[in-house]
Structure 1
Amino acid sequence: MADEVTLAQYLFLRLHQLGVRSVHGVPGDYNLVALDYVEPSGLHWVGNANELNAGYAADGYARIKGMSALMTAFGVGELSALNAIGGAYAEKAPVVHIVGVPSTASQDQGLFLHHSFGDGNFRLNAEIYARFTCAQANLRNVETAPALIDETLRQCLLQSKPVYIELPTDLVKARIPTAKLEKAIDLSVPPNDTVIENAAIEDILRRLYAAKQPFIIVDGFAPRYGISSEADELVRVTGFPTSTTPFGKGVINETYPNFHGIFAGAAGKEIYMPWVNSCDLIVRIAPLNADTNTYGFTTLTNRNVTIEVDHNGVEVCGALYRKLNIKTLLRKLLDRLDTSRLPQLSPYPDLGDPKRLLDQLAEPARDAFIDQETFWQRISKFFRSGDIIMTETGTSSSGGRDFVLPPQTTVINSALWLSIGYMLGACSGAALAQREMISAKSRPNGRTILFEGDGSLQMSVQAIGDIIRNRLDVTIFVINNDGYTIERYINGMHAGYNWVQPWRYLESARYFGAPENDPEYPVFNKRVENWGELMDVMQDEQLKAGKGFNMVEVVMDKEDAPSSLKNLVRMAAKRNEGGSETSPAHQELEQRVMATS
C-alpha cells in the first residue's frame, strides 16, 4: 500500500476493516468523485434506484451484517433518505450515512448552490440529521478528520444506531498517512464495576432460585445489544416458560419445549395474560415498549416482579444497576448459574405450542380459498434453517407472528417505525449481506424470503430493480388483497382511500430487466388462488432452492386478516378516538417516563 491514501479511501477502508463490503446509495454531483474510491477500497457499489430504498436496503444489510454504509448527495439526496434513517434510529440499526456536500469554500461564502435552500445556510440538513443519528462528523479539517471518522464509526457500533458523516468535495482527495489505518478502531468498553456487577448478579440469582412461577420474554433489541446467544442459553438452561414479543420473533431457538410463541397480551389467548400477571418473576430481555410490540401496552409487567435487561444495565424488581456492559454481566451470570437450585416448575396452563398447533392443522380442501388465519402457520413448512424471513408492516407482519420457525432462522420485522414499503428495500440489503456472509462461511446457507402486501410493494417497487441489478437471490410472497387491509380495519373498510391500483405483479421481473432463460439467475413467477395451487407451488424445486428472482402472488380476500391484527387495530382505533389505556402496567410506564423526562 502507498504511504498515503485519500480521505475518501481512508473512510472506505475503515468501513472495510469493520466488515462492511458494500455501499448503498445514489450518485450525485457532490459525491461522484468520492465514489471513484469505493471499489478500489474493496467495497461493492450497489447503485440503488432512489435514496429512500437505498436507506431501507442499508438498514436491512446492517441488521444482518452488523453495520452498513449509505452514500447520498447533499440536500435532495440525504433528505430523501431521511425516513429510512429515522427507522434505523428508532429500531437501532447501525447505518453509516455518508453525504457528499459542497466544498468548504462554497459553504463559507454562503453561495446559493443547487440542492440548497438558497439562503446560504449549509448547516440545516446536518442539524436535522443530528436528531436522527447518535454521532456526526463534519470532515472540514484534514488533520482531525481521521480521528473524527474513527470515533463516529465507533459510536455507530457501540450504540447500534445510525451516524452522519459530511464529506466536502474539496477534501475527497486530501492525503492521509496510511499508518493511521494500521491501528484498529478501539471498540472496547470499560470493564464493569465489580461491586455493582456482583451485586446485580447475586440479586438476579437469588430471585431465579426463589421463583415458583417464572416467565421469560425475549425482545428484538437482543441482537442489537449482542446478547442473542446469552438470551438463548438462559432460556435453554433454565427451562422457564418463554415467549417473545413480535419484535423478538426468531431471536431464540423456537424448537425448545419451553417456548410458547408470542405473548400477545389482550390480543392473545384468554388464559395467557392472567397467568403471566400471576407470575412471581418475569425476565424481560432487551425490551421495546412500543404499543404495537406490547399489544397496546397490555404485555407490560409489574415492575416489582420484573427483571429488565437493557443495553447499559439491569433493573431487578425496582433496583437499578446501571453503567454495566450487559453482555459481560449475562455471561458471568450464566457461568455462575447453578441449575440444580432452579425451581421445579409446577404444571402450568397450555400457553400454546406452535409446532403442535401446526401439526394439528387439518389438510385444507384444495379448492378452498387461502385464509389468513392458517396461511402463516402452513407456510412455515416451506422454511429451513439459515433462512432470513422478512415480513412487511400490516397483515404480513401480524400474520408472521404465527410462523413456526426451524433453528437458526432470522426474522426481520418492524415493530416501532412501521414505514410501509420498508421491507422490500430492506430485503435487497439483507439478501446482499446474506450472500456476503455465506461466501465468507460466517453464516449457514439459507434463502431470503419476503412476505409483502400489494399496497406496500407499490410504495418501494423500484427495489426490485436493485435486486435484479445485483443478481440477488430473493423469494417474494406478494399478499394480494386489493389494498391496505390493515388500514381498512382501523377505518374505512369500503373507503376508496384504502384501495390501490391493481398491478400485474408477476410481470415486474421482466419490466425491471431480469434476464430471460439464464440458468445463473433464473426467474420464477406464479399466481395462486387456492390451497391446492399454493401447496403445489411450495413443492417446486426452483422455488425451494431460492436461487434467482422468485415471486408468488397469493390471492386473499380483501376483508380477511389474522385475528391478532384485528384485535390490535381495535386497540389502535380506540386510542385514535381518544380512548385511554387502562393497564396498570401501562399507567406505571407512563409515570416512569414522566419521572425521567
Structure 2
Amino acid sequence: MTTAAVAQLQAEVNRLRHELSTVRAHEQAPTGESIFVGQYLVERLVQLGVTKMFGVPGDFNLGFLDFVEDHSKIDWVGNCNELNAAYAADGYARVKEGSLGVLTTTFGVGELSAINGIAGAFSEHVPILHIVGVPSTSQQKNKPMLHHTLGDGRYDAYHLAAQHVVISSTSLINKETAAAEIDRVLTECLVMARPVYLMLPTDLAYERIPSYRLKTPLSTEPPANDPDVEQFALDEIAKLIEEAGQDAIILVDACAIRHSVKKEVHELIQRTGFPAYAAPMGKTAVDEQHERYGGIYVGSISHPEIKEKVENAKVIISIGALKSDFNTGNFTYHIPTSRTIELHSDHTTVQFAEFPGIGMKRLLPKLTARIQPFQPDAKLIPVPSFTLPLPQEDNDIITQTYLWPRMGQFFRPKDIIVAETGTSSFGVLEVPFPSGAVFISQILWGSIGWTVGSTLGAALAGRDLGYKRTILFIGDGSLQLTVQELSAMLRSGVTPIIFVLNNAGYTIERFLHGMERKYNDIANWRWTKLLETFGGEQGKTCQSHLVKTKQELSALLDDPKFAAADKIQLVEMIMQPRDAPRALKRQAELSGKTNRYVAELPEGVGEAV
C-alpha cells in the first residue's frame, strides 16, 4: 500500500473515532444548547488556540464576520488585500506551532486573489484554514448570474481550482453535516500540516445546530504507528548505525518544524550526541548554540568543512526533508540512498525500504531510547564550530559579507527573524542564531513580497507567545509588491524592525540572468517616508532611519532605544546592486546552468552580415 493510501486510511480511522466520541457526548447530554453554524466554526478555532483571523470583508462573508468580531477571544485583522492576508495567515501559523492560520475571503474575486498565498503554504507544509463566504444554498442551486461569478452558472469553479492547493476541502450544504465537516477539515489541516478550504454559504452560517460536539476536543495527534512494522524499522535503523561504527550525523529540515517534532529532535541530539546539521528550510529547528550543532548543509554550496562532515558520514539520519532546488544547492546533495535513513510525518525509509504509515512523531522517542547507548562513541565525532566572524574590510560600504555577521551580533534570544526570498534569505543562513530565536523564510515557494504579510502574522503570533522582537530583512524590489501591509502593522500595534536592502532592483534576478537588463530595475521610492504615508507618526508610533555606511549602521544597531523595538521602525540600507552573499552567487550559477537561458547557437548564426 502506498504512503498516500495509508495516510488516507488513517485519516478516515481518526474521523470515525472522533465521530464515535461525539455520539457518546450527545448521549450524555441529548438536550444540549444550540449554536449558529458560524459560531460553531469560531468556537472550534478558539479551542485550537487561534487568536487572530486575517482577510478582507466582502458581501458574502459579512454575516459570518459578525460572529468573529463579537467573540472575546479572537480578533479580526483586516488586511489591505487577500494575497497579503494569506501571507499573514502563513506567518502566524509558522510561529504558532501546533495551531493554524486562518483567513476569510469572499467568493471568487477574494479567494482567487488569495490562492497564490495558499499555494505557498501547501508547498511548504503550513496549516491554514481558508474560509470562503459564498452565495446562499438556494442561489447555488438556482445559479442566477450573480456578481463575482463567471457568468456561466459554474458556482463550483473556484472550489475546483482550490482543490489543487489544499489537502482537504468542503462545501457546506446543510446544517445536519456542517459541524462534522468543519471538524474533519480542521483535523486534517493540523494533522497533515497543510491548507484546507471551507465554503460557508451566507444562509447556512445562521442555521442553528446542536453544540454538544464542542465538548469533544479535536484530536490533532498523528495516528499510531503499527507496532510490528515500527519495531522492524527500529531494528533496521539500529543495525545500520551499529554496522557503520556509530559514524552517523543528523540532518534536520523543514518538516521537523511543520510537524511539531522539534522537541523530539532536541531529545535525540541531546541523548545520543550525534552531530546535527540543518538544511536551509530547517534553520532553527535545532538550537544553533547547541554544542553538537555544526551549521547549514546546502549540498555543493555548503562550507567545505560542513560538506565534508555530512557527505562522508557513513549514516545520515534525515528528519523532515524537503529536497527542493534552493534547499539542496540545486540538487547537489551527495548522500547515497544506501547510507540514508529518512523520517517523515507519514512514512519512514531505511536505505531502499519504505515503511508507509510509520510517522516520525511517534517513532523518534523510541529511536532515541534505542540508539542512546551509542552516545559515548557518537560524542567523539567532531563537529565544526558554527560561527561567522566579522570581516576586516578597508572600506565603509555596507557589503553583504559585513552585513550578516554584524546582524548576528544584534540578534537576541526569542527574536523572530524573517528573511525575504533572495539576498536576505541566503545571507542570513550562515548567521548563528541565539537560542530560542525563530527563522522564517519561504525558500521553496519563493513568492517575492511574501515576508511583509508574513511579518504581520508572525509578530501577532509572537506577541501571544512572548517573543521579544520581530525583525524583517527585505529588498527594495520585494517590498514594492506588498508594501500596503505596513498600514495593517501600524493599525494592529505590532512593532517589527524592517531592514530594507536598497540595492536598486532585483539582485537575485540579476545574478540568475540579466545583470544589466532594465527588467531587473525598479523605481526608487522614498523609503523613509513610507511609515508616515501609511498612518504612522514619526517619533511616536514609528521611526525611520537611513544608513549608508558601516559606521552609521553599527551605531544604530548599538542604540538601546532602537534595539528595544517599542515602535515599528524602518531602516533603509544603501547597498551595492551587484553585491550578493556567497551562497546566492553559487546558487545562481547552478540555477543558470539548469535553466539554460543562453542557447548554444550554430556557428555563424547571429553574426553580423
What is the TM-score with the length of structure 2 in the denominator?
0.89
* Contact 1:99–1:164 (CA under 8 A) maintained in structure 2: yes
5+ residue gaps, structure 2: 1-31, 599-609
Equivalent residue runs for 1:349-368 within 5 Å:
352-355=384-387, 357-358=388-389, 361-362=390-391, 368=396
Alignment-derived partner of residue 79 in structure 1: 112
Equivalent residue runs for 1:539-558 within 5 Å:
539-558=558-577
Alignment-derived partner of residue 154 in structure 1: 187
Equivalent residue runs for 1:300-319 within 5 Å:
301-319=335-353
Deviates more, 1:191-200 or 1:160-169: 191-200
* Alpha-carbon distance, 1:313 to partner: 2.2
Alignment-derived partner of residue 293 in structure 2: 259
Alignment-derived partner of residue 258 in structure 2: 224
Give, in whole Å, the separation in 1 of the partners of 2:378 and 2:163.
51
Equivalent residue runs for 1:49-64 within 5 Å:
49-64=80-95
Give, in whole Å, the separation in 1 of the partners of 2:539 and 2:179.
48
Give, in whole Å, the separation in 2 of the partners of 1:422 and 1:218.
24
Give, in whole Å, the separation in 2 of the partners of 1:415 and 1:308.
21
5+ residue gaps, structure 1: 439-444, 580-597
Deviates more, 1:164-173 or 1:2-11: 2-11
Percent identity over the alignment? Answer: 39
Deviates more, 1:272-281 or 1:397-406: 272-281
* Contact 2:35–2:208 (CA under 8 A) maintained in structure 1: yes
- Seen in structure 2, the aligned counterparts of structure 1 residues 148 and 344 have a Cα distance that, compared at 3 Å, is closer
Equivalent residue runs for 1:466-545 within 5 Å:
466-518=488-540, 522-545=541-564
Give, in whole Å, the separation in 2 of the partners of 1:468 and 1:305.
51
AA partner of residue 364 (structure 2): L
* 1:166 alignment partner, one of 199, 215, 229: 199
* Alpha-carbon distance, 1:211 to partner: 2.9
Give, in whole Å, the separation in 2 of the partners of 1:326 and 1:347.
25
* Contact 2:296–2:306 (CA under 8 A) maintained in structure 1: no
Pair 1:462-2:484 in alignment: yes
* 2:103 alignment partner, one of 58, 67, 70: 70
* Contact 1:52–1:81 (CA under 8 A) maintained in structure 2: yes
Alignment-derived partner of residue 592 in structure 1: none
Give, in whole Å, the separation in 2 of the partners of 1:532 and 1:136.
54
Pair 1:17-2:47 in alignment: yes
Alignment-derived partner of residue 39 in structure 1: 69
* 1:197 alignment partner, one of 230, 234, 238: 230
Alignment-derived partner of residue 27 in structure 2: none
Give, in whole Å, the separation in 1 of the partners of 2:515 and 2:55.
38
Alignment-derived partner of residue 393 in structure 1: 421
Give, in whole Å, the separation in 1 of the partners of 2:414 and 2:451.
19
Give, in whole Å, the separation in 1 of the partners of 2:597 and 2:510.
19
* 2:369 alignment partner, one of 319, 323, 335: 335
Give, in whole Å, the separation in 2 of the partners of 1:51 and 1:408.
31
Alignment-derived partner of residue 434 in structure 1: 462
Deviates more, 1:90-99 or 1:32-41: 32-41
* Contact 1:265–1:272 (CA under 8 A) maintained in structure 2: no
* 2:433 alignment partner, one of 402, 405, 416: 405
- Seen in structure 2, the aligned counterparts of structure 1 residues 6 and 138 have a Cα distance that, compared at 3 Å, is same
SS in 2 for 1:56: helix
Give, in whole Å, the separation in 2 of the partners of 1:553 and 1:18.
39
Equivalent residue runs for 1:176-195 within 5 Å:
176-195=209-228
AA partner of residue 203 (structure 2): D
Give, in whole Å, the separation in 1 of the partners of 2:305 and 2:292.
17
- Seen in structure 2, the aligned counterparts of structure 1 residues 340 and 214 have a Cα distance that, compared at 3 Å, is closer
- Seen in structure 2, the aligned counterparts of structure 1 residues 578 and 527 have a Cα distance that, compared at 3 Å, is closer
* Alpha-carbon distance, 1:516 to partner: 4.8
Equivalent residue runs for 1:411-430 within 5 Å:
411-430=439-458
Alignment-derived partner of residue 606 in structure 2: none
Equivalent residue runs for 1:259-278 within 5 Å:
259-270=293-304, 272-278=306-312
* Alpha-carbon distance, 1:578 to partner: 7.6
Give, in whole Å, the separation in 2 of the partners of 1:374 and 1:218.
28
| Superposed CA offset, 1:1-28 (max 9, x none) | x922211111111111111011100000
* Contact 1:74–1:101 (CA under 8 A) maintained in structure 2: yes
Pair 1:102-2:132 in alignment: no
| Superposed CA offset, 1:498-545 (max 9, x none) | 011001111111001014554xxx422111111111110001222211
Give, in whole Å, the separation in 2 of the partners of 1:468 and 1:125.
33
* Contact 1:56–1:423 (CA under 8 A) maintained in structure 2: yes
| Superposed CA offset, 1:66-111 (max 9, x none) | 3011000000000000000000000011100000001111111121
Alignment-derived partner of residue 586 in structure 1: none
Alignment-derived partner of residue 585 in structure 1: none
Give, in whole Å, the separation in 1 of the partners of 2:109 and 2:350.
47
* Alpha-carbon distance, 1:164 to partner: 0.4
What is the TM-score with the length of structure 1 in the denominator?
0.91
* Contact 1:52–1:83 (CA under 8 A) maintained in structure 2: yes
* Contact 1:524–1:542 (CA under 8 A) maintained in structure 2: no
Give, in whole Å, the separation in 1 of the partners of 2:372 and 2:384.
28
Give, in whole Å, the separation in 2 of the partners of 1:93 and 1:53.
16
- Seen in structure 2, the aligned counterparts of structure 1 residues 419 and 74 have a Cα distance that, compared at 3 Å, is same
* Alpha-carbon distance, 1:552 to partner: 1.1
* Alpha-carbon distance, 1:259 to partner: 1.9
* Contact 2:55–2:78 (CA under 8 A) maintained in structure 1: yes
AA partner of residue 7 (structure 1): V
